[in-house]
Chain A
Amino acid sequence: MVKFLIPLVLFIIMAIFLAMGLHLNPSEIPSPLLNKQAPAFTAPKLLAPTETLSPADLKGKVWLFNVWASWCVSCRAEHSVLNQLAQQPNIMVVGLNYKDNPEDARGWLTALGNPYAVSITDQEGRVGLDWGVYGVPETFVIDKKGIIRHKHTGPVTVQDVENVLQPLVAQLQAEAE
């Protein structure tokens, strides 16, 4: 009896691990920055290069930080979703134009619409490195205290907006500063 039970048990254990493996997404790496203070930066604005922005300027606001680039194909897919999202009241999307040519980036915003309250440029990818960006697009949600509360890897879909981002932003808006 035991003779038959051992392979059966081994098979079940293996099957459980393999089934778990099927549902993991190896390209989604958990960010150690979650629930930590947003990394500081001072970067020039894309549309007004003489002015700079840093996260400290946004204290007291709930904001989304979206990493994008004109060379990024998935960003194109995501863009219409962001355009819609930006029309909602009390949603503020800040863009990080990552390793891009500012000319191309401005052209992209003119052609496809600009969902960003403000975009900053990061031509060398240094801000991205501090934020642990490893692929574009990525989206962070930052609360009123300047703490990263959520990270989304890959293009944001309508479902993500409805099921995750909007409820989370609403919840964070209700929190005290």
Chain B
Amino acid sequence: MKCLIFLVLLWVNTVYAIDAKQFTDQKQQADYESLTSELRCLVCQNQTIADSNAELAADLRRQVYEMLQQGQTREKIIAFMTARYGDFVLYKPPFKIKTSVLWLGPIVFLSIGLLMVFWLIRTKAQKKVEDEQEHGHQEKLVKIRRLLNEEEERS
């Protein structure tokens, strides 16, 4: 029974999630699908307009659909959206001075991390060599003492 309910819920999800738009042209269909999954729904900010059920997302989907039907290009549609909602509407923001931290931040953090790892490995390795040297030194000292003691005892 539980399994059945689960299956029904799964089905409901797929049926009502998105109002699927059909194109006769394959390329337009592909463009529609990629565009709607790249544009952000501004009401529910962590969803794309393809995922969201918000009214605004439906309006934006309709807009994308109509513009594609009119034969407009991807670039034109993206320009249309950013002119109204700003770069925020894009899940993949363009590289600008304002967004440089966003783009370069991960690289900077990764290099800091790598540098730290190298530095740690090097200091650890150096310490090991020093420890060994110290250890060898100690052994020699013990041997010298023993020899000296033996000498004293003999005399």
Contacts and interface: CB of A to CB of B under 8 A. Distances in A.
Contacts of A130: 84
Contacts of B85: 29, 32, 132, 134
A99 interface: yes
Nearest to A124: B59
Contacts of B59: 124-125, 128-129
A134 B86 CA distance: 12
Give chain A's interface secondary structure class.
loop
Interface residues of A, number: 17
B132 to A, nearest CB: 24
Give chain B's interface secondary structure class.
helix
A31 to B, nearest CB: 7
Nearest to B54: A134
Interface of A: 26-27, 29-33, 99, 124-125, 128-132, 134-135
B86 A29 contact: yes
25 contacts: A26-B45, A27-B45, A29-B42, A29-B88, A30-B86, A30-B88, A31-B86, A32-B83, A33-B83, A33-B84, A99-B55, A124-B59, A125-B55, A125-B56, A125-B59, A129-B60, A130-B84, A131-B84, A132-B84, A132-B86, A134-B42, A134-B43, A134-B85, A135-B42, A135-B43
B82 A32 contact: yes
A27 B41 CA distance: 11
A30 to B, nearest CB: 6
Contacts of B84: 32-33, 129-132
Nearest to A33: B84
Contacts of A99: 55
B99 interface: no
A34 to B, nearest CB: 10
Interface string B71-98: 0000000000011111010000000000
A35 to B, nearest CB: 13
A33 B86 CA distance: 8
